[in-house]
Each structure stands twice: as C-alpha cells, then as structure tokens.
Structure 1
Amino acid sequence: MRRDAFISYSHQRDKQLAKALEHGLKNLARPWARRPVIRVFRDTTSLSANHDLWSSILGELQESRYFIYLASPEAAASRWVRREIDFWIANRPMERFLIAVSAGTLVWAPEANDFDWSRTDALPPTLRGKFPAEPLWVDLAPARLGEKYSLRQGEFRDAVATLAAPLHGRTKDDLDSDDIRQHRQFTLVRRLAFAILASLLVVAVGAFVVAWQQRNEALNRAHVAASQAMAARSIEVADQDPRTAAQLALYSRSAQQTSESTRALAAAMEANRYVARHLRGGSNTVAGYTGSAGGYDTQVAISRDGGTLAYYSHYDPAQTVHVHDIRTGTERQLETGGFPMGTGFLQLSADGGLLALEVWPNQIELWDVRQATRLRTLEAGDPSQLANAVDGIWAAAFSPSGRWLAATYHTSGVDERQLAVWDARTGAVLSQGASRVEELAFDEGERLLAWEPGRLRRFATGTRAWTGVGKPRATGAEEEVQALFPDGRALISTNSGSTTELWDLRAGRRQGITRGGGLLATLPAGDASAVVGALGGEIAIYDTALRSQVTLGSFAWPARSIAVSGDGRWIAAGSTDGAVTLFDADRARTGEALASDVPKGGDLVSHGRLALRVVGSTTEVWAGTDDGGGPRRLGILPVEFEPGDDALTVSRDGSRAVFVDEGDRQFTAQMSLWDLRTGEQIGTRETYYGHDVSFETEDGVHFLADAVHVVVLGRDGPLLIDTRSWARRQIGDEGSGIGAVAASDDGGTLVLLNITTNTIAVWRWTGGELEKVREVPYESHGAEFGADLTVSPHGDKVALIDDDGRLFIVDVDSGEVVNGLAGNGGDHAVFSRDARLLVQPGRVGPVVVLRFWDTSNAEAAGSWTVRQSSDARMTLPAGDHLVVVASDGSLTVSEVDIDAWRHSLCGLLDSSRPAAPYDRYLSGLDIDNPCRS
C-alpha cells in the first residue's frame, strides 16, 4: 500500500509525540465526514506481527513518498533510526526528507550549505553533506514539553501544517484555510446535532413529564374514585354492619382524604358508638351441612363480674375457645381440640375463673381459665344412642361461687330431659334425675332455680330439697324459655309464632310482649329494669315492656347467641356467620354523672367557650378541660353577670378576667380587670362614655395573646384596650360597620366582620401590635341580621354562618374562600383543634345534634346525635371535645378530631382490611394500611 509519509523516531523518548504527529497529519484539513486522505506509517500502529521486522520496515520505506524524522539526540544514537535513514539516503530523494525537532539542537551553516556539526546533536552523522539545500524542518520541542498535542493548539498546529503541506501538494496557507473551514463545518454540524439531540431530549423529557403527570392524575382520580366508592358503601352498610363500615371508612380515608371519607368516618363512629371491640369478623359463607338457611355455631359468654368474655365459632379454623380480658383488652386461646355439632353451650363462672364447654353431645369440659388447663370432663348421661345428637345439653348454669354446675340434657332411651348438678371442684354428682326443666339459674344463696312448664322450683344445694316458688302460669305447648332472672323474679320466653314475652313470676303476670319476630334475649343478673336482646342482626337494650330503648349495634347476619355481665354494662353477641362483638352499654346511658360540686346544666349559662353560673351577686366562671372532662371552675367573681347585657373574657392561662358591665345610662359601659384565682379586682374600673360596647353577641370581648390587651366592639368600631391603663384606640379604619368580632383561642388572631363592605378582616397580634394580614370579601345578604363568626384555635381558618344559613370558610394564609350551606339555628360553631372540621351543635327536643363540615370545601361531613335524659342545656367546647351538659347533672363528651376517629375505629377492629367482595375497591392501588402504627 502506498504511503504518504514514514515517521522515524526514538521509541524511548518520542512515542507519544509520534502518535500525536501521526494523528495530526491524518486529520488536518480532513473533511469531517470522510476517512483520512493522508496515509502515515508509524511502526507501532502500522506493522503486523512478523518475525522479520527489518524486511517489513524496508517494504514500508520503499512505499513511502516522504520521510519524517523526529530529531533528538536519542533518535540520532538509535541503531534502527540510522538504518532507516541510511536506506532513504541510498534509495530515495533527500528533498523529501522532513525534520521535526523533538529535542536537542539543529544549526544550519549557510556558508557550508550544511548543518553545523559542531553544534548539531539531534542528527546522526550519516546525514553530513547529504542535503543539497537546507531541508524543511519544524520545532516540536515546545509542544512536547507542554504535551500540547491538539490541532487546536497554535504551535503544534502550525508545525503539523508545515509538515503536511508537501504531503498534500498544497501551500501551508491554503491547507490551513481549508482546515479552518472544515473545522467550522464540523462545529456547525456538531452544534446542529447537539441542538437536535437536545430538542429530542426536551421532547422526550416533556413527553415523560406529561405521561408521568397523566399517570399521577389518573392514579389520583383512581384513588379519589376508590375513596368515594368505599365511603359511599361504608355509609350504606353502617346501620347493618358497623364493623365493615369502619373498615371501609378507614380505607376510604387512606385512599384519599375527601369530604366523603370524612363523612364515612363520622358515620362509622356513630354506628360504632357503643362498640367496645369487634373481636371477630363474619365469614360471608354458610355452613356446609346445614344449607343456606343455617350457619355454623357461634357462642359467647360473659362472667357475671364483667371481667372476662369467652367465645368460639365453628368458622375459626383453629377450633379454639378465645378468652378476652375485658379490663385489659388482652386475649388468649384455650386449645380445646374441637367443638360439638349443633348448639354446644358455653358458660363462665361469676369471676371468670372457670369455663364449661360442651365438646361433644352431653360431654362437658371444665377449664381453669387463668391457668389455661383442662380440669375434668363431665358425662351427662349416655350420648352414644341419641336419636338427634344436636339435642345434647339443653340449658346450663354456674352458681355464683363457681362451685356448682347444673345442666339439663337429653340422653338415650329416655324421652324426658334429665337434670344433673355437679360439684365443679370434684366432678361428683350432687343430684341427677328426670326433669322437665327448660331454663336454669342460681341465686345469690347458691340455690338452683329451675323453670318447668308453668312453674318455678328451687333446689337447695345444702339440703338437696326442692320447693315451689311464685305463682304457676299457663304455658303454651310450643313455648321456649330463653332466660331466667337469677332471683326468680322474671323470665323471657318465645313461642312458635315468634312472640316474645317477659313475665313477672312473683306477680304471675306478663310485663312485656313483642310480636315483631323472635327476640333472642337475656337478663342482667343485677339489673331487673332492662333486657338485652337481639332481633335479627340488631342488638339493643329493651325496657321491661320489651320496648327498644337504645340500639347498640348490628350484624350483617342474624345474632346466634348473646350474653351480658351481671351489672348489664358489657354485652357480647355472636352472629350466624361467626362475627363476635363486645358492646359497652354504659356508653348508651344518658351521660356520665357530674361531680357533686359541678353545677347542673340548668344552672350554667353558655358564654362562648365559657360557662357561667350566677349565685346571688357573684358569678362562677367555668371552662372545659382539654382532655374532654367535665367543666372545671376557674374562679368566682364578686359581680353579677346578666346574659345579653354583660360580657366577660378570660386570658388564655385562665388567671385573669375582664368584665364589661353595661351601665344603667345609655351609651355607657364599665370595664374591670379581675384575678380569677383570688376573686380580687386589679386596679380601678373604667367607665366609657360614647363608646357603646356591643352585646349583640354573647362573646363580645376578647383577650389577645399578651393577656394584657383586649378587644371590644364599640359604637364607632372595634377598640383595642390596654387593661393596665385602660387606654384605648380604634383598630385601623374599620369604623362602625363592624358587626361581629372573634378571636382565636391563643389570642394571636383577631377577625372583624364588616357588614357594610361585606368583608372579613384578619388581624395578627405580633410584637405588641395588631397588623392586618388579610381582607376577604364574601357574598352575603344575611350577615347584617346576625352572624356566627368563629376562628380556629390557632387562627389559620375563619368561619362565618350568616342569618340565611350560608357558610363561608376562609383560609387565612391563602385567602381562599369556600362556600356551603349550614342551615339556620344551632349554637355557636367551633373548629376542631386542627381546623379540619367545623362543628355546630343544634338542639332537637331533649337531644343535641352535632353537625360537621369539612373545612377544605365547606361540604357536610355527617352528624351525630347526643342523647340526654332531659334538656341538654349547654354545649361547652373543650380542646378536641364538645361537652354537652344536661339539666339533670349528666354530661356527654364527643370527640371531634378526625385522627382521633381513625385511631378509635382502628382500636375497635380485629382486622382493618375489608373482606371480599370489598377488596375490589382496592385492587391495583397501593393504599397504606390505615391502622399501621
């Protein structure tokens, strides 16, 4: 192959320079899209593996048009370089011998037409006298010293151009210009390529961003849709299945925080108001051997002292009895090894220490609950030849001490039932024989009460003698006795026509009756005034006339068994599909009794966030506590408060009070400062003339955060008053158009309602001064006739309900206003502590209805009904609670915090995840477990 140039150099010294020179010669003035037009030989890159190296070099020398010698003392001393030069001298023209100096000295002596060999050390002596004229040579020593081997470096580029010009057969200037032009074209093309790539990258990134946004939007829509669907389903099933309603509400909130999810949480809280714990969910299946009309057995039992709950269900694959400690909430299991087919009974002793369980027809196991050990097995007759194995044990009861256990049962070869009484400590039979007994109970004297058709008999365990009790009564042929009061006072029975009756056995008369279907009922041992019953899937408390008083909750399937503690507080029920729930009936009472030193609701006057009681010429000041407890007295003032005329405010720490007493003369008012802890006045009273303090609202005066300044609505506008000197000044230029004033709990935010300009002005107390931070217009034509203005505890939101019932909620930081419809009436609305809920109490007869609004969009978020035994006279805000005080001295506390609702519902559930078919709402969505700690 023909070569344009052969580079000869010292490998020891100039390997990198030779490589750079080769690259420069090939690429100078080369069109960027073409291969190199100059072919250069350099042994390192051009020779293939060959055992005869010299012959290969000679072949390349013969084919090369130019010889480029990298001159240096090391190259001049190299044997191989001298051989290459000798061959060129002997065979090729010297005018094509080019020199590039790498190091050393080259000096041309014009007078001798040769190099000055006394001073030249970079050439081998064999070149002495071989040049007919001064050869072409360039100096690469500066480039080598700086290792600047780029064609964009001036010195190196100039040297390469000088050497390349004869190779190209062109002038150096022409070659240089061509290289510059090619470089510019390359730069232009490269920039264009970069621009295209950048544009494509921008388009790709933009497409990715759009796709990601669309994906997020689609995912967000899916979350919103799932949240709304689960919320709607939760509200729909709340009355029939509170457990599932709670699960769906929690997952609705976890999927997306919507107003629908808030409403579902509120509804779930209402539906689970009396639930202490959902211990087991339903299976949503039917029994394999009873068909669709029946179900597996589920049984519950509660000890008389209310400390222990036991339950089992054939839907439980572990086939164990669960023992739940009601006081601590802990649970453990008894490995019983199996349950009977049909209706195996379950009983607990009064103290919850012993458990009796029918593990097979007519076989009763006694367990030590605390030690979780089986004590013994009792045999009730011979069950091997029973015509119907599900008959088995008919009724059973423990004596109060747990010593005696009685049961009626069927046995083979005998038509009538049998009755046996055992000593539970030893297993010995105290009494056994044929009996028509249908229901059993022990009284407090350890005597057994046994109901036979038409009569009640008593068995004394000491004398083993039977006696009659009460008056006999007629008994229907198809009557089944469900429950017997332990002192023999009453019983509950149901006949084949699904009529349930409550009988007073002492008087021999019927007390109550219901024909609305078979009522599964039981009687608390210590409360003869109430009946606990289940009608279908609804669990309720009934009076002695069998009229439903309070519905505690419900199941999706009919109740299978029901149990109640002796005092009637704890109620457990198990449904046909295996669900088990524990209810707290105390929550269904009319309210907790106030302490004896706390006034009743009828004696208290609601005054904003305070409650006042006037006693003679003094006024007691009460307030709610942050933990939702009953009212606490802050102090007593020696002044007589007149509702509708006077005003009063208390500092945030509850230590100081400002009392504004409307004067006898028109347009006068007296203001005084008091120490609430001592009841003593601080300083003197101040009388204001011509500044009529407005008492249109009961909360007409407000302490600011420094506990020194107060704001009062005067005739000419709002006044800022220093309680140390009673100096006053107008607030801004608000004027007399201010119709209402409100402040946050912390006193840091003040809000003024201007009914002339229809604006809400927000002021902040910072650095000892009031500063207006926001003025928001609102569209209302009813605020001038009365308005309820309230500020969230930390001043981040403001709510206005005008006289037309329209609701306006202002976000102070953003100025955004959302509108809704709150309706007319009700007490002063209050915010929850986190300002996510607005709550307005309203009275409907003897009950209070709490209505909720989602403050993010002013949409309704549900309502609760607070039951009271008599008129609920006052609603008192207290932290995240509303305390309703009744005139009979009872109170009901309601928590109004969304996170607290979520926590409460999670605490009720055995599992937070909704069962099928509700998983369809969650399919394909990554939704966090709402109850994960």
Structure 2
Amino acid sequence: MTIGLLRPPRRRAERWMEGATGGAYAAFISYSHAADGRLAPALQRGLHRFARPFLRLRALRVFRDEASLSANPGLWSSIEQALSNSHFFILLASPEAARSPWVGREIAYWVQHKSPATFLIVLTDGELVWDNELGDFDWSRTTALPPSLRGVFTEEPRHIDLRWARAEEDVSLHNPQFRNSIADVAAPLHRRSKDELIGEDVHQHRRTIRWVRFAVATLTVLLLLAVSASIFAFSQQRAAQEQQRAAEEQARIATARQLLAQAEALLGEDPRTALRLSEAAVRIRSGPETRSALVSNLLTSRYRGTLTGHDGGVLAVAFAPDEPVLASAGEDGTVRLWTTSHTATPTPLGIPLTGHEGRVLSVAFAPDGSLLASAGEDGTVRLWKTSDPAAPTLLGSPLTDHTDQVRSVAFAPDEFVLASAGYDGAVRLWDLTDPAAPMLLGSPLTGHTDGVESVAFAPDGSLLASAGVDGTVRLWDLTDPAAPVPLGSPLTAQDGGIGEVAFTADGSLLASAGVDGTVRLWDLTDPAAPVPLGSPLTGHDGAVQSVAFASDEPLLASSGEDGTVRLWTTTDPAAPAPLSTPLTGHDDWVNALAFASDGNTLASAGVDGAIRLWNTTDPAAPTPLGTPLTGSNFGGVLSMAFASDRSLLGSAGADGTVRLWDTRDPTAPTSLGSPITDRNGAWDVAFTPDGSLLASIGAVPAEGTDIGQQVPLGAAGEDGIVRLWDTRDPTAPTPLRTPLTGHDGYIRAVAFAPDGNILASAGDDGTVRLWNTSDPAAPTPLGSPLSGHDGWVQSVTFAPDGNILASAGDDGTVRLWNTSDPAAPAPWGSPLTDHEGRVLSVAFAPDGNILASAGDDGTVRLWNTSDPAAPTPLGSPLSGHDGTVLSVAFAPDGSLLASAGDDGTVRLWNTSDPTAPMALGSPLTGHDGTVTLVAFAPDGFLLGSAGEDGTVQLWNLSGLFELRDHVMERACSTTDGGLSRGEWESYVPGLEYVDICGT
C-alpha cells in the first residue's frame, strides 16, 4: 500500500478567490479619467499583485475599462456585462467622478442590481462627510459623491483615503503607505482580515524568493536547452509579432471608439474638447468610422474657434465691416486685432494696442473699417487708424470730456459722428471730419438718472438709442447732430438696468438687454412712440449682458451672466422664437457679442478671457442653391432625373407634365421649352445616360377634369403605356411614334440600363418588363415579364454593369434579376425580406457591390451584392426619418447616400464604410410637405430633391466634399490645435502622446 501526502482542504475564501480569477471579476473600478487616469491603473496593478500566489498571473481579476475592454461596437453593453460579473464595486470618489455621466451610470446600475455592502469607496479628492443624526452623508458638504447615492447606505461606510497619493511620485507596492492602502482595499475582496492578508502576502513573498533561488540554479541547466531551442523560437517570433500587432490594432480601435463616444457626449456642452477628442480618434485609428464622425461633429457643431491672448476677461468685441478682422478689448487695458478668415486659424494682427489706464470697456469700427474707437474706465476715448489692421496707429490725443468711465462708443453710418456714453450719465457726440482732431458736437445728451451703459445708431443715422443703469432706453433725433432732441418717453418695460441696445439692419426694430434676464424687442415704425413687441425673451439664468442682430437675417443673439449665447429668429418680431440649443463653452459671464458683416460668424467675449467664434450658417453644410424650381403647381413633383452632363434635369409632376430644366448654373436654373403634356400625364421619368432619350409613364386624370388638375397619388400610368421622347434638342422635345405597351394595369417606375439600350418598367401587375431601345423609334419587348412580386412593383434600378436589375415592391421584398442576357432574364437568389411594409426605392452604389433600399418602416438598409446570388445585409438599418422613406440615391463616388421622406426632410449618410454608415450633419429642410425623391448630378456636387409641394430644390454639396477630403485640416484650424499633453494623459492614458495637429 502506498501512502501519499494529503493536501488539506482549501478554505472557502481561497476557492472564491480562485473563482474570481476565472470568468468573474472580484471588483469593478469606476473612476473619472480626467481626475484619476494615473491612480486607477496603479490601484488595479496593486490589487493584482498583492498577496499573489506564486505562478499565478494575478491575485484577483479587477475590471478597469481602459485595461479590460476590447474592441466592441457596444460600449455600454460591455461595461454592463462587466458590472454584472463583478463581486465588488470600487468607486474612486472625487468631484470629477461625481459629475461624470459614465460614473453615474455605472453607480446607478450597481445600486439597482447589487447590495450596498459590496460598494467600496476610495477617496481621491474632495470631501466625504457623514451625518450620524440623518443616517446619511451630509450632502451640503460632501463633494466627492454623486447625489444618486443619497439614502443608499444605512450606516456610515468605511472608506480608504488616498488623497495623499495624488501628489505622490511612487504609487506602487514598493511604497509602504500605498501597500498598506492596497491591503485595506484587498481585504474584503479576498474575504479575509487585513492582518491575515498581510501575513499571506509576506508568506507568498518569501516563497517567491525561495523559488527564485531555485530558478537561478535551474536556469543554468536550461540555458543549454534554450540555445538548442533558439532556432524554433526565432521561427515563432514572427507569428508572435503578428499577434502583437493585431492586439495593438484592436486596442487602438477600442480607444478610438471610446474617444468618439466621449466626443458625442461633450458635443453640446464643450464643443471644442469634443472636436479635439474626435481629432485624436482619427489620429489614433484613421478610418471611415472615425473620419465620418469628425465630419459629422464639425457639421453639427456651431463652434469655429477660440482666440486667447488677453490677460483677464474680454469685455468687448467688434467686427470690421468688410474685412475678416475682429477687435477685442479687455480687463488687461489692451485692444487686440485678429484675422478671422474662414480658411485660416484666427490669428493676432500686429501688437496689442495700449494706452488706456485700466479696463477697456468698448470698441467700435467706423463703417469703412479705417477707424477704430476704444473707450475705457480711465474716462477716455481713443481713435486708432486701422486702414492697415496689421499696423494700427493712434490718432491725435485721447478724448477726455467724460468725468467718469466711458462704457460705450458707436459710429454713425456716415463715419463723421461718434457717440460715447459713460457713468457720468451723459452721451456725447463728436465731429470726426478730421479724425486726428475730433470736436464736440452740441451739448451732452442728458436725461438718464444714472450711468449710461450703451449707445447705438439706427442704420440711417437719424436716430440714436441709449441705455442706462436707471433701467430706461432713450431715443434721440439726430437729424441735426449738433442739436439732438429726445423722442417720446423713455422705454421702461424691463426691471433693473439695461446692459445694451441694438438696431436691426433696417432700423425697424430695437433690442434691449436687461439685468432682469430678459431681452425686449421694440417696434420703431414710429420712433416717437415705440411699442414693445410680444413677450420678453426669457431663458437666460441671470442678467443679459449683450444683444446683436445679424446684418441681413432675422437673427438675434443674446448673452449673459449664465455663460451662454442664445440665438433667436425674429422672422415674426411679435413672436420671436429660440433657435437650437444655447451655445456653451465660456466658463463665466459672456460680456459682448458681434456679428460679422456677412452674418455668418458670431463672436462672443467672456470673463474667462476667451473670444469664441461661432458659425451661424454652417457654410460647410449643404445649402439650397437659388430658388426652388416651380412649374408643376398642381400637386407634387413625382419624379426627376439628371442627364449625364448635369446640364439637364427632367421632372415629372402630378399635374400631368414633364418639364426640362437647364441646370448649368445651378444657382439660376431655367425652364427649357414648353412642358411635355398629353392626355396621359407623367408619373416617372428616366434619361438614357447620354441624355438624348427620355422615358415617361402617364397618370390619367379623372374623366371630365383638365390636364392641369392634380392627379391623386396612386394613379400612376393608368394606361399601362411608356412613352419615349427625343430630347437631343431639350428646348423642343418630340414624342417617338411607338409607345411601349404590355403591362396589365398601372405602371409605377422606369429605368434605363447604363448603355441606354435596355429599359425596365414596373407596374401594379407585379411584373417587371424589359425593352430593347437600341432603336428608340422601334422599341421591342425582351424575354418574358419578370414575375414574383405580390402586388405593385414600386421601383427598379440597374447595377452599373447592367448585369443586375433590382426591383422593390408593396410585398415588402427586394428582388435581384440576372440581366446579363436581357432576352432571358432570371432571378438571383432569394428575395430580401428585412423591411417591414412596402419597399419604395432601391439604388445601387457605383461599384455595383452595394444596394440601398428604403420603405414604409422609416429605415434605409444596405446590402452586399458582390455575390448577387447570396446578398447579405450590411451594418444596422439607417434610421432618423420620422415616417416613410420614399427615395434613396448614391453619389457618383459611392461615399454619400441621400434619402428622402414624408417627414419633409432629406438626409445625408456617409457610406465610405458601408458596414458602419453614419449620418452627416442635420437634415436638409426646405420642402413644404413630403419629399418624394432625390437624385445626384453626375459630378456628385449637386443634389436635387422633389416634393409634393410642386418644387424641385437644388443643393450644393461641394462644401461637404471639401470638408470630407480635408477634415483634419479644417478641424485643427477650428480648434486651434489638438489635445494638449495634459488632456491627452487624461483622455488617452494608455498611449504615448501625439501632437495631433503638429502645432
């Protein structure tokens, strides 16, 4: 009998710990990347190594997102799974973590699904204060926890204080103090007492030393074996390197996706940081996904850039009238000039202008831009010659007639009169006939019972408005500026002081900014009796500091002590309405606003010392060109098509006409010849590629009605006939004698093959028919009708090589047909059935390998058709339309897809990576009602959309393509460079710093 050594049974804690190193996590670390990006990895490493048994990779498995997540399209679902598989939750508590939406989300999950007894707190910054009487934290003094933990704990939880480690250079187990803290945290995870765990750590350390000594002796022997194995090892090295590169690539993908998720969350709150995170994602892993996200974020964000340089708050800004030049004034007593060209990063011009003693409170350019006036708390006004903004010079001596600080200056439209106002309660007018020697005009304008905050001239110069600390706005008749007279009674509809006043470009409206947090609009039709319009504009949390109107648009901007800028449409001044969400980014009061002369750029200046530029038209986004094409006035435009050279557009209307348009100048398209009409109207049109032949199908009006009356939708091609038109002379298209007949019922759609010799038609009989149009004067049917659809066939399209035809129908299916031999077409594979409801439109990408389909379910779906016998879905369905999607079309290079819906919008999608298509910018709006279809011009820079409002809209996409091709350059110009080294370490702690923009 053999007697073996029996191993004592393992304790439950040891078995649990061993289990925790398998599929589950002993703990989940939740933290703020910005606050604890350095401490969290150190804590994870310490828990892995403390009391680690010899030959075991780690003592415990601890989850930390940066170290544990692999590339995965579902970021939150991965985190949620890790939370579910964790036994303890470790919160690195700090004020930053308390404000982090991701930390809050992780805490909410734990509180809902786990016991508070498994919630461990490690304090890294801020305060934790327990109130024994309340049996909860004192939330008035606790800054390191989010309010979502209110009432979670029934007794004071013990926490570990690691605030000292923030400033410690060595945060590893070599540091005795840090090692002791790790023992505090590890004890509950191991389910053992701290003393016992420390003893185990000492034991394991000694055991390791013994093994090391044994290993040294053993290695001497193994060295000989290693030499003999080196050849084999070398052969394996290449495979290992490949695996390492693959792992590194996966890590970069995961990091890039995390940065994109953080950018999306920050886009509304901090657009500059959001764009910089998107730039970092592109630099870390450049690909269609990251570049598309950066393009979309640039289109969505109104942010254009930040100008910094003032030492202290910026108190005033003003744009030069016709040059991309901005003037700013600040608490540092200087005036600075900047170039703000759309194509360059905003940069300073010349050196700061100095001379004022104390803060500079106001700046204003003369109408021709050759003069700049500045005013300060030193009670002076100074004039600067700015005809060369890179080298401005002081003109004459300061104007010193005010007896207190000067709060505001403004030029009259004729440039020869300057108004200044100050805390001495007076407004003074100056004759600038000789700007080097200005002279006072008449007596000071008095009437305000306290300081005057702002002055503004009406556009024709005949009227001056002044606003004061006394809460009134006063109007002055300047018909004779040497003898101004007050007009009417003071305007007093706001409580408290008035910070600023501004006129619209036509002088019909005046806006006033109130300390009471409101903006008021005044009708100045009769300036002697102005009346308030509508209700006060509210939304600012605190005093409104500044108001400014765009030059030629019904657009008003306001800013205030809440640090936001708000935009308002004044199309109906009696009912102004807010536009989009407030513009945020300033860290304190926004003191001043100014629109550029073209109205496309808004500057805001803040107490935070920054001047921020905002794009108020988004010139990189698609914009409508010219006026809508109208002519089909009775009912909607049902179809349109471009000829190959983009110079010709055909449209079909529910009024029974086909119209041809010359679009060589898309800003001014013109109608060619007379509309094509006959009794059978027009429901759909298609050009041959060379534009010489047009096919149309008819819509018969109800019996007894005129051809011009609206035809109900659904009455397409009632005569079952396709007509061909010779359009070689588009000013006089002529019908070809032989119509195409054969469908048993209505016809819904037509499409030419790429060579123009084959035409497909689809109808309500559920069939698709092919026609030989190589001799358009004598077209003939090809093969048997293609059958299989159950109900109407709504759309047909050929692949670019002409060998595949796609059809879509009311039965909710898309079918592919082999047309390589058009005389004997045959079905490819099984129908595509993922849509719910009718499929109304299909379109091939230019390479023929991608097919887009759209329908009643409100989605667009992409299909891989490289093997047409077995097409497969690509990515997730594209959703965003609110209702049915009626039409889809690819741009000629395949990188862009347009969709149109009954929600009245056109949407653009980046399909550079068809497995992960992304929405680009905001929907295009302009149609009044359903948009029935979209079509790209052959060069891809022009998009047409048609609607039930009877119009065709043309959209210029050249800016969008330019942005896509130069996205990093545009982004870096917008954000004045990429992430700083400190920001990089906070957001991307695992990768070496990269100067993204090369600045």
1:376 matched to 2:398: no
Alpha-carbon offset, residue 447 of structure 1: 5.1
CA contact 1:540–1:553 (8 Å) conserved in 2 = yes
Deviations 1:641-671 (A, max 9, x none): 867x854310223232123458999995354
In the TM superposition, what are the counterparts of 1:520-669 in structure 2 within 5 Å? 520-524=545-549, 530-534=555-559, 536-543=563-570, 544-545=573-574, 547-551=576-580, 554-557=583-586, 558-564=589-595, 570-577=601-608, 578-585=610-617, 594-595=626-627, 599=631, 605-607=637-639, 609=641, 612-614=651-653, 618-622=657-661, 638-640=676-678, 646-661=683-698, 669=721
Match of 2:531 in 1: 509
The one of 483, 501, 506 aligned to 1:465 = 483
Match of 1:479 in 2: 497
Greater C-alpha radius of gyration: 1
Q: Structure 1 CA distance, aligned partners of 2:933 and 2:668? A: 11
Q: Structure 2 CA distance, aligned partners of 1:930 and 1:741? A: 47
Match of 2:128 in 1: none
CA contact 2:315–2:605 (8 Å) conserved in 1 = yes
1:205 matched to 2:235: yes
Match of 2:726 in 1: 674
Other structure's SS at 1:864 match: coil
Match of 1:721 in 2: 772
Q: Structure 1's 474 and 694: CA in aligned 2 closer, same or farther, altered over 3 A?
A: closer
The one of 783, 797, 801 aligned to 2:850 = 797
Alpha-carbon offset, residue 345 of structure 1: 1.5
CA contact 1:230–1:248 (8 Å) conserved in 2 = yes
Q: Structure 1's 522 and 566: CA in aligned 2 closer, same or farther, altered over 3 A?
A: farther
CA contact 1:740–1:789 (8 Å) conserved in 2 = no
RMSD: 5.0
Other structure's SS at 1:684 match: coil
Match of 2:456 in 1: 441
Using the TM superposition, name which of 754-763 and 669-678 deviates more: 754-763
Deviations 1:478-505 (A, max 9, x none): 3224114388765443444323323346
Match of 2:256 in 1: 227
Match of 1:280 in 2: 306
Match of 1:296 in 2: 313
Deviations 1:78-136 (A, max 9, x none): xxxxxxxxxxxxxxxxxxxxxxxxxxxxxxxxxxxxxxxxxxxxxxxxxxxxxxxxxxx
Q: Structure 1's 440 and 586: CA in aligned 2 closer, same or farther, altered over 3 A?
A: farther
Deviations 1:701-721 (A, max 9, x none): 222222233233476654242
CA contact 1:572–1:583 (8 Å) conserved in 2 = no
Q: Structure 2 CA distance, aligned partners of 1:916 and 1:594? A: 47
Other structure's SS at 1:471 match: strand
Alpha-carbon offset, residue 674 of structure 1: 2.0
The one of 411, 422, 430 aligned to 1:409 = 422
Match of 1:695 in 2: 747
Q: Structure 1 CA distance, aligned partners of 2:760 and 2:796? A: 9
The one of 312, 321, 324 aligned to 2:328 = 312
Alpha-carbon offset, residue 240 of structure 1: 3.1
Alpha-carbon offset, residue 347 of structure 1: 0.9
Other structure's SS at 1:470 match: strand
TM-score when normalising by structure 2: 0.59
1:707 matched to 2:756: yes
Q: Structure 2 CA distance, aligned partners of 1:647 and 1:445? A: 53
Q: Structure 2 CA distance, aligned partners of 1:361 and 1:539? A: 32
Q: Structure 1's 582 and 754: CA in aligned 2 closer, same or farther, altered over 3 A?
A: closer
Other structure's SS at 1:407 match: strand
Q: Structure 1 CA distance, aligned partners of 2:825 and 2:229? A: 49
Match of 2:65 in 1: none
Q: Structure 1's 403 and 331: CA in aligned 2 closer, same or farther, altered over 3 A?
A: farther
Q: Structure 2 CA distance, aligned partners of 1:223 and 1:602? A: 56
Q: Structure 1's 813 and 612: CA in aligned 2 closer, same or farther, altered over 3 A?
A: same
AA in 1 matched with 2:422: Y
Alpha-carbon offset, residue 620 of structure 1: 0.7
Q: Structure 2 CA distance, aligned partners of 1:251 and 1:606? A: 45
CA contact 2:365–2:372 (8 Å) conserved in 1 = yes
Alpha-carbon offset, residue 465 of structure 1: 1.3
Deviations 1:161-187 (A, max 9, x none): xxxxxxxxxxxxxxxxxxxxxxxxxxx
Alpha-carbon offset, residue 468 of structure 1: 1.8
Alpha-carbon offset, residue 397 of structure 1: 0.6
AA in 1 matched with 2:761: V
Other structure's SS at 1:493 match: strand
Alpha-carbon offset, residue 268 of structure 1: 1.6
Identity of aligned residues (%): 16
Alpha-carbon offset, residue 533 of structure 1: 1.9
The one of 408, 412, 435 aligned to 1:425 = 435
CA contact 2:758–2:771 (8 Å) conserved in 1 = yes
Q: Structure 2 CA distance, aligned partners of 1:583 and 1:624? A: 29
1:903 matched to 2:919: no
AA in 1 matched with 2:779: W
Match of 2:978 in 1: 913
Alpha-carbon offset, residue 216 of structure 1: 1.8
1:322 matched to 2:338: yes
Using the TM superposition, name which of 599-608 and 506-515 deviates more: 599-608
Alpha-carbon offset, residue 582 of structure 1: 4.4
Alpha-carbon offset, residue 358 of structure 1: 4.1
Alpha-carbon offset, residue 798 of structure 1: 0.9
The one of 242, 247, 269 aligned to 1:218 = 247
Aligned residues: 705
Deviations 1:831-878 (A, max 9, x none): 34433444423343x655556777532565466233438446555322
Using the TM superposition, name which of 910-919 and 700-709 deviates more: 910-919
**Which blocks of at least 5 consecutive residues in structure 2 are unaligned?**
1-225, 643-649, 702-716
Other structure's SS at 2:489 match: coil
Alpha-carbon offset, residue 245 of structure 1: 3.3
Match of 1:684 in 2: 737
Other structure's SS at 1:685 match: coil
1:271 matched to 2:295: no
Deviations 1:441-492 (A, max 9, x none): 3345655625365563537596621312133344778322411438876544
AA in 2 matched with 1:531: L
Q: Structure 1's 870 and 773: CA in aligned 2 closer, same or farther, altered over 3 A?
A: closer
Q: Structure 1's 632 and 200: CA in aligned 2 closer, same or farther, altered over 3 A?
A: farther
Using the TM superposition, name which of 478-487 and 701-710 deviates more: 478-487
Q: Structure 1 CA distance, aligned partners of 2:497 and 2:559? A: 18
CA contact 2:894–2:912 (8 Å) conserved in 1 = no
Q: Structure 1 CA distance, aligned partners of 2:290 and 2:322? A: 35
AA in 1 matched with 2:797: A
Q: Structure 2 CA distance, aligned partners of 1:608 and 1:740? A: 15
TM-score when normalising by structure 1: 0.63
The one of 346, 351, 354 aligned to 1:335 = 351
Q: Structure 1's 466 and 395: CA in aligned 2 closer, same or farther, altered over 3 A?
A: same
CA contact 2:509–2:522 (8 Å) conserved in 1 = yes
The one of 940, 951, 955 aligned to 1:893 = 955
The one of 516, 519, 534 aligned to 2:544 = 519
Q: Structure 1's 771 and 563: CA in aligned 2 closer, same or farther, altered over 3 A?
A: farther
CA contact 1:227–1:258 (8 Å) conserved in 2 = no
CA contact 2:419–2:428 (8 Å) conserved in 1 = yes
AA in 1 matched with 2:439: V
Alpha-carbon offset, residue 752 of structure 1: 2.8
Q: Structure 2 CA distance, aligned partners of 1:670 and 1:476? A: 68
Q: Structure 1 CA distance, aligned partners of 2:602 and 2:378? A: 27
AA in 2 matched with 1:280: T
Q: Structure 2 CA distance, aligned partners of 1:246 and 1:556? A: 13
CA contact 1:300–1:573 (8 Å) conserved in 2 = yes
AA in 1 matched with 2:804: L
Alpha-carbon offset, residue 791 of structure 1: 0.9
In the TM superposition, what are the counterparts of 1:60-209 in structure 2 within 5 Å? 200-201=230-231, 203-209=233-239
CA contact 1:322–1:332 (8 Å) conserved in 2 = yes
Deviations 1:57-85 (A, max 9, x none): xxxxxxxxxxxxxxxxxxxxxxxxxxxxx
